[in-house]
Copies of this chain bind each other. A is one copy, B any other.
């Protein structure tokens, strides 16, 4: 396909320079544009459409598990941020401060929310009085601001979009149940919708959230062997409740503190989609969240009947009419590319944009009552009858979704190794991937490992193994198996 070369030559090969490959893909596929504001991105229509599909899917899962959406102010007064000691220490160094309203200096400066625990706590203190008011299962979709020194599209922005769940419960057991329930929602979402396999586990004390009793995480592995923290869920115990006075009368009329959780997933996950699935031809989007699941490309579209047939197929497949007689099928997100570019150009353009499946239809296909399907994941060509094309495409999209998860899992597993010797460990970190190794539980060893190898503890996985009796870094007895790796 010589006509492809011009289109794809601008993408650097991922083996040559992975970081450049990543930004090339993002720029060429128009996911984001840089703005004049330091560290803030413009999410363009294609990038934002991916986020909308993520939102729709995750929001459905939150509602199924009993959560309700709310909206909190974007500003936090300095005195409110300071109420929980660990929390303010964690966030104050990286917040943006509003000091003036119009031309007037403010009596108290406000920070733009870096996360909203303090705002939810203030509200909960107002509305929770009795055990009948519990649990509160709230979530909000918003943007947050953290004053980052270096930024990178999707992975680290000054401002980014996310959702943050904040819940309040009568007991520590319920809070812990919720913390793990939402971690599992994130893990299921990543695996079933994004085709990204994740390791579930707990963060070490060093890596946990500022103010949490325990932080749980899902960790995914990128194509270049680096890990990405993809979602976190925190159990706060009653620490915030004590700081903010969130108390309720329980069933025996005793005054108790509420137990709280929070959990978040951000646009960062789009970086994971790009780096887990993409290749040198560009994006590869899982069908379940692809803005366009199927692109129809007419061949010899100037010939009689071709565009008509392509349009008819689009109607049938997108479920907006066409076959009134037939049983309604699940509608597919279809795009018809009838622009005046050559078919070859269109093939490579939609391939670059990661459209999971393309349908080619020309005069001879129409004669034979068939079309050609080409899968983005395997590049397999399939000749398909037009009679039951809805079912064929629905099934092929399901196959692509399943295959992308399996491929990602196989790659992740092939890049997951174990080490029981420190020199071997360091070498494996250098090569990338997850390295399983035993740990004594001390922050000192985590810090030494980071200094020696740049690896950080990704998580203490729920599925524990015993590789050795002692820590990979010191001679003390091993407490836990830990996943280590270089991370974004």
Contacts and interface: CB of A to CB of B under 8 A. Distances in A.
Contacts of A72: 35, 42-43
Interface in A48-100: 48-49, 51-52, 68-77, 80, 92-100
B69 A49 contact: yes
Contact of A98 (B68, B96, B138): B96
A2 interface: no
Contacts of A70: 42-45, 48
Interface stretch (A120-128, A223-231, A356-364, A454-462): A120-128
A36 B98 contact: no
Contacts of A76: 37
A446 interface: no
A220 B145 CA distance: 37
A71 B161 contact: yes
Contact of A35 (B51, B93, B123): B123
A311 interface: no
**Centre residue among A76, A98, A123, A127 by max chain B CB count within 10 A:** A98
A110 interface: yes
A154 to B, nearest CB: 12
B102 A99 contact: no
Contact of A123 (B33, B51, B93, B98): B33
A81 to B, nearest CB: 11
Contacts of A7: none
B35 A119 contact: yes
Contacts of A126: 33
A129 to B, nearest CB: 14
A5 interface: no
11 contacts: A36-B77, A36-B122, A40-B73, A42-B70, A43-B71, A44-B70, A52-B69, A74-B143, A95-B101, A97-B98, A101-B158
Contact of A37 (B42, B51, B75): B75
A112 interface: yes
Interface string A312-351: 0000000000000000000000000000000000000000
The residue in A71, A75, A147 that gathers the most chain B C-beta atoms within 10 A of its C-beta is A71
A159 interface: yes
Interface in A13-51: 33, 35-37, 40-45, 48-49, 51
Interface of A: 33, 35-37, 40-45, 48-49, 51-52, 68-77, 80, 92-103, 110, 112, 119, 122-123, 126-127, 138, 142-143, 145, 147, 158-159, 161
Contacts of A93: 102-103
Q: Which 3 residue pairs are nearest across A and B when measured between Cβ atoms?
A: A40-B73, A45-B68, A101-B147
B147 A102 contact: yes
A159 B35 contact: no
A35 B103 contact: no
Contact of A73 (B41, B52, B119, B123): B41
A70 B37 CA distance: 16
Contacts of A94: 101-102
A93 B97 CA distance: 18
Contacts of A119: 35, 42
Contacts of A158: 101
A437 to B, nearest CB: 35
A441 B143 CA distance: 44
